[in-house]
Every structure is written in structure tokens, then in C-alpha cells.
Amino acid sequence: MNSQMYDLGCKIKQLSGELAEYLDTPGTGSKYNVLYHHLDDSHYMQKYLFYLLGEYLSTHNPSIKNDLLSFANLLGQRSVGIAGSLDTCIGLVYKTRSAIITLMETEIKENKLTGEYFIESIKLLDPLLNAVLSSVINHYNDILFATKYALDESTEDLRMTLKELAELKKALNEATIFAVMDENDAYIYVNEKFCEVSKFSKDELIGKTPYILNSGYHPKGYFDDVWNDLSAGKVWNGEILNKAKDGTTYWTDTTIIPFIDKAGRKYKHISIQYDITEKKRTEETLLKAEKLSMVGELAAGFAHEIRNPLTTIKGFVQLLTETTKETVFTKTILDEIDRINSIVSDFMIFARPHVTDFTQCNLTEILKNIAKFIEPEALLRNVLLITDFPDEPVIISGEKNQLKQVFLNIMKNAIEAIPSGGFVYISMNIQPSEVSVTIKDTGVGMTEEQLRKLGEPFFTTKSTGNGLGLMVTYKIIQDHKGRIDVKSDGPHTGATFKLTFPRIQ
């Protein structure tokens, strides 16, 4: 078992405080019985959940899953009992997951947890939490189904059911992106959070199917499988990339629960979603960082082994041109040697250790100088640069030459992406703690596949490129504690690069 995952599990157990020490002591009896006597204490329930999740992550003991199911059953009873309500139970699971994510982010920042084991831990913990949540909701649905047949006998039962349904609606509205669909998969109810995330109004969504949010990312067979599971009465859980009304995309962790009539036919289903866009971005950033790290480990040795023989070859070729008449072949050899040296120089930025002296840099001045420097090339290509920079200095911490290289790479790419004339817009947005530079072109645009591969080694959309320019750019931005976001609506729609850096007040 990996030590990182074991240490993380132990730290999650520590969130349960003195309970972990008590339950780990031999002779304390059944953990299930201990829990049963504290159903009214929500803090104790959360501590117990921390303990079980931490124990499973550190030991991978299959019996812990059974303990979690027992916990879920008790939690389901609590959701309809006098001692608590469903929104409290859902909130307990949600707060527990949030606390664990916060702990894991702290571990990553302190370099105690790698991106690989962050993702592996999420893959282990999320199914367990989803199982707990599904069990609670299923238990609740069972109670409601049984209550349905008792409504004619007691008005008191009716009042209790209406109260519980109100609590359920409140919990789902506040904690989730919630929707109800009919037998034809058309929306008959969406909550405010659904509208907030999707940018559609309720009137625009009611009567429409989820196809209105289709981003085109998933193949058609993906949703066919969803529909088949629901038609068979199965609960479906997975991740979906949706497209909002304004064209932006967002990821959701989605659970869809079908409602089945006496004849076994689905007559409606509910969708419970959580916005996991930031989580997916974090995973993508960590994966790219790991790729850059791998290149860094190879760079130093690669550069040394290549440059030594290149220096010797270049020296002999230059000596040859001095003793004999220079030919097109010797000039070609020297040009190609210089090109290889340029590629090696690009690789050297990833070499470790790499010490850079950061100073206070005037971002406004850097951008103005780069725009002025590259403007002649833009005009030759019939491209007009339109800039919007503030008059006052905007100061960030960085290495001036590296920052110039970043903006020069992106502006040059933007110009080259416009084959028959167009515009490149360069603007700056200043916030109290950070500053963003947006470079937008009216060029050929990019596909979803190309967007996903940006920054990967040797990936390029240009016939003459080597795929290292943007890779170097991503590395420099990472070293400056910045971030880069790239958007394009597809081919022939242009592309927008947004670079954000921490600002010095």
C-alpha cells in the first residue's frame, strides 16, 4: 500500500478526534452498537463517517464497506425520524466530503500528496460517499412509498409526509443542482441552482430535454447507456460535461434515480448533480504538471548528451568552410545544428534545479514593448493589433525575460493563426489581488481535442512547429504561480488565451 494514501487515511481519521482513539482501542465492542446510541448527535455521526473513510483509505479493508452500509442505513432512519431530517443527512455527507477535499488540497500544497494519489483517493472515496447518499435517498423513497398507502387512513400521516417532502425539496434545492424529468425525459421541474449554473431560465428549460445542455463531448452511445439503465429501473451515476447557454462548459457529478410504477415502468426520474468543474480543472492541471516534471527529469541529461557532439560537429563544419569553398550543404548543416540547439534550449527550462531570480516587473510596460516589437510582422500578414492597456504600472513578481517569452509566444501564435487577415485583441483586467491578460484572435480556432492537448510535449497545430513553444509557456506560467485558460468554440471561430498572475499591491 502506498505510504501517501496510508498517511492521508490516518489524517482523515484524526478529523474524528477522540472517537478514533476510542474505536481503535481493543475491547471497545461493536462499532455499530456504539454508533446506534448517538443517532441524535450530528457531530458524532460526522466524526464516525470520518473514521470509516480514513480507516478504509489507510487499510483498504473490505469489511469497512459493510460498516459504511450499516452507517447509511442508520442515517436513512435518522432522515425520517424525529431526531433529524433528510437535509441534515445530505448536508452531513456533503460537509464531510468538503472537509476531506480541503485536507487533500493542503497536503498537495505541502507536497505530501502527489496528483496521482489525489486522483486515486478521490476515485476510492467518491463511490463510498455516493453509496452512502444513494442508500439514504433509497431508504427515504421506501418510506415515502409505504406512506403513500397510509394517506387515506390518517390526516396526521399526510401532514407528516408533506413536511418531509418540504424538507426534501429544501435540502435538494440548497445543496444540489436538482431537476425532475417525465417519462419522455423532458424537464418538469428545475431548481434555482440548475438555472444559475446552466444560465437558462426555468421557462427556457421546462418541456425541453437534457439535449439542450449537450456539449458534444460525449459520444451518443454514452447517453444511450444512461437511458437503458433508467428504463431498467437502475440508478445511474457518472460525470457529464454540459454546455451552458453562454457557451461555457461545466462538469457535473450526476446521479439519476428512476421512479417505477406497479407495472415496472418508469414514469419519471430525478437528477441530483454537483458542480465538479474546479475538481476536473485541478485534475487536468496536476496531470500536466506531472508531464512537465517528467520532461524536467530528462532535460538536463538530454541537453548535455546532445550539445557535446553538436559542438564538435559544428566546429568541424566551420573549419571545413574555412579550408574549402562554402557550399549550400555546409550552410544547411550549420542551420540545422542551430535549430537543434534551439530545441535543446527550450528543453533546458524544464531542467532541475532551475533557479530564477524574480523581481518586480511592470506588466504594462512588458506588454506594450512586445506589442510594438511584433506589430511589423502582424502588418505583413494583414493583421491588426488592437490593445487596451492601463496608463499606470501594474506590478507582478517575475523574471522579465521569461514573461516576455510567454507573451511573445502567444501573440506570435495568434498572428500566425490568421491566414488571410484579421484582428488580435490584447487587453488587461486588473483585480485587487491578481491581473489577467486576454489575447483573442479571429483566426482558425481549435477543436475540443486540440484544446485538451495544448501544452503537451511535441503537440503543435503548425506544420513548421516543434510543439515546445506552448509547453515552455505553460511551464513559465506555472513557475510564476499563474494560470492559463484557453477557449475556442471550434474551427474558424478564433481562440482566446487568458493568463492570470498574482499582483503585487
Instruction: Encode pLDDT of 448-475 as tens digits.
Output: 888 877 766 666 666 555 566 777 788 8
Backbone angles phi, psi at 198, to 5 degrees: -85, -15
* pLDDT value of residue 83: 42
443-460 burial string, b = 16+ CB within 10 Å, else e? bbbbeeebeeebbbeeeb
Residue type, 498: K
* Surface-to-core class of residue 24, CB atoms within 10 Å of its CB (0-12 exposed, 13-18 middle, 19+ buried): exposed
Residue 433 DSSP symbol? S
- Asked if residue 38 has pLDDT above 60, the reply is no
Cβ-Cβ contacts under 8 Å for 116 (sequence gap 6 or more) = 286, 290
* pLDDT value of residue 360: 92
* Contact present, 4 and 118 (Cβ < 8 Å): no
- Asked if residue 177 has pLDDT above 80, the reply is yes
Nearest-angstrom CA–CA distance, 332 and 154: 95
- Asked if residue 283 has pLDDT above 80, the reply is no
Backbone angles phi, psi at 111, to 5 degrees: 60, 30
- What cell was used for 191? 431548481
Nearest-angstrom CA–CA distance, 441 and 93: 45
Nearest-angstrom CA–CA distance, 364 and 305: 40
Radius of gyration of the chain (CA): 29
**In 3D, which of 373, 387, 389, 375 has the Cα closest to residue 425?**
387
The residue-averaged pLDDT of 219-234 equals 88
Q: What rounded mean pLDDT belongs to the chain?
A: 79
Nearest-angstrom CA–CA distance, 284 and 288: 6
**Residue 428's beta-bridge partner residues?**
437
N- to C-terminal Cα separation, the chain: 46
Q: Please give the distance of CA 412 from its chain centroid, rounded to a whole number.
A: 28
Element at 430 (helix H, strand E):
strand 422-430
* pLDDT value of residue 231: 87
**Residue 424's beta-bridge partner residues?**
385, 441
- Asked if residue 144 has pLDDT above 50, the reply is yes
The residue-averaged pLDDT of 473-483 equals 86
Nearest-angstrom CA–CA distance, 435 and 432: 8
Cα–Cα distances in Å, from 273 out to 159, 173, 242, 411?
A: 29, 11, 11, 39
Residue 28 DSSP symbol? -
Residue owning grid cell 511592470: 362
Ranked by mean pLDDT, which of 303-317, 331-345, 369-383 comes out on top?
369-383
* pLDDT value of residue 28: 45
- What cell was used for 237? 451515476
Nearest-angstrom CA–CA distance, 148 and 274: 29
* 494 phi-psi bin (left φ>0, alpha ψ -120 to 50, beta other): left
pLDDT in tens, 45-101: 777 777 888 888 888 888 888 877 777 777 766 655 544 466 777 777 788 788 888
What are the chain's domains? 1-173 (no CATH), 176-275 (3.30.450.20), 285-348 (1.10.287), 359-502 (3.30.565.10)
* Contact present, 475 and 289 (Cβ < 8 Å): no
Report residue 280's pLDDT band, with 50, 70 and 90 as the boundaries: confident
- Asked if residue 421 has pLDDT above 80, the reply is yes
Backbone angles phi, psi at 501, to 5 degrees: -130, 150
Q: Which residue has the higher pLDDT, 140 or 268?
A: 268
Alpha-carbon torsion (413, 418, 419, 422), positive or negative: negative
* pLDDT value of residue 114: 84
Q: Which residue has the higher pLDDT, 415 or 464?
A: 415
Q: Which residue has the higher pLDDT, 465 or 314?
A: 314
**Residue 238's beta-bridge partner residues?**
254
Cβ-Cβ contacts under 8 Å for 46 (sequence gap 6 or more) = 92, 95, 96
- Asked if residue 239 has pLDDT above 60, the reply is yes
The residue-averaged pLDDT of 209-235 equals 89
User: For the packed helices 63-79 and 86-109, what is the interaxial angle rounded to 10 degrees?
Assistant: 140
Taking residue 399's Cβ as centre, other Cβ atoms within 10 Å add up to 16
- Asked if residue 22 has pLDDT above 80, the reply is no
Report residue 385's pLDDT band, with 50, 70 and 90 as the boundaries: very high
pLDDT in tens, 394-412: 999 998 888 988 998 899 9
- What cell was used for 481? 504561480
* pLDDT value of residue 261: 84
Pairing of strands 383-388, 359-362: unpaired
